[in-house]
Chains A and B, each alone.
Chain A
């Protein structure tokens, strides 16, 4: 598996993401790819890390989605490549129209930075197959705008098509349906507000994020490596 970690001006979770992919999967290649890159076609999995791209000006992710690299990310998404956006990465994917919904300010208007209980709603995805359905994970969140919003029609579709991948056990930020992570209809693009890449080591508080990276790698391997 060849993996890319996209770096925008203002990304600040890129090295954590790099560490998670590099040290907890067997990816042959993990590379930082700048926002100015014209193509990500050489990669099998593309990770969009958290941060404050372009200072969150206008709206979170609104400027980043027009960065040169995003055109290629959209093209690779359409081809079925694996795309994972965490936190600001999720917001960028929403702005780019690759994932449903939009983020509002948290319901209490505070920046929330703590570890929360996260429930695996759907483990039949390429991102969560190493978890069990209903598993409750300890994963940190760190966001001011994570209040997931969409219209009723979209929400019903998300429910019916198994696109709700993670929910908060408690009402953390006012998100509709306590949604913390969703995938697109095709099941190759995931966005989540909590940070699995910050939950990789027990001595740092939690290693519950590891299985997300394991899942991505295993599913890539199963569909791409022919074994006898």
Chain B
């Protein structure tokens, strides 16, 4: 099994109300030089390794984990180091 981390964000150009609210709060707290804050999701799953791993992860993202109408996704595969 490998650990898969899926990151989901709103597509570029889609106004992100949560990101905007966080950005405003950071500015209000006095943090300067912060822009383009976006809030998304991180989904972690264990997936059987092997042939077609990327295709399987892509299919899961497209069919359920992300909504391609407004969201982008990316993922990272993490293999545990063998001792």
Decide: A104 and B69 in contact? CB cutoff 8 A.
no
> B2 at the A/B interface (Cβ < 8 Å)?
no
B65, CB-defined interface residue at 8 Å:
yes
Total number of A residues with any Cβ neighbor in B under 8 Å = 18
Contact between chains at A58 and B17 (CB < 8 Å): no
Contact A62 B64 (CB under 8 A): yes
Are the CB atoms of B69 and A108 closer together than 8 Å?
no
Other-chain residue from B10, B64, B70 in contact with A66 (beta carbon distance below 8 A): B64
A150 B17 Cβ-Cβ under 8 A: no
A108 and B10 alpha carbons, distance in the complex (Å): 17
On whether the beta carbons of B10 and A104 are closer than 8 Å, the reply is: yes
Q: Which residues of B contact A (CB under 8 A)?
A: 10, 14-18, 21, 64-65, 67, 69-70
Nearest first, the 4 A-B pairs at minimum CB distance are A102-B69, A102-B70, A107-B17, A105-B17
User: 19 extra interchain contacts, Cβ-Cβ under 8 A, other than A104-B16, A149-B14?
Assistant: A58-B65, A59-B67, A94-B69, A101-B69, A102-B67, A102-B70, A104-B15, A104-B70, A105-B17, A105-B18, A106-B17, A107-B17, A109-B17, A109-B21, A147-B17, A149-B15, A149-B69, A150-B69, A174-B17
21 residue pairs bridging A and B, Cβ less than 8 Å apart: A58-B64, A62-B64, A62-B67, A94-B69, A95-B67, A102-B69, A102-B70, A104-B10, A104-B14, A104-B16, A105-B17, A107-B15, A108-B17, A109-B17, A109-B18, A147-B17, A149-B14, A149-B15, A149-B69, A149-B70, A150-B69
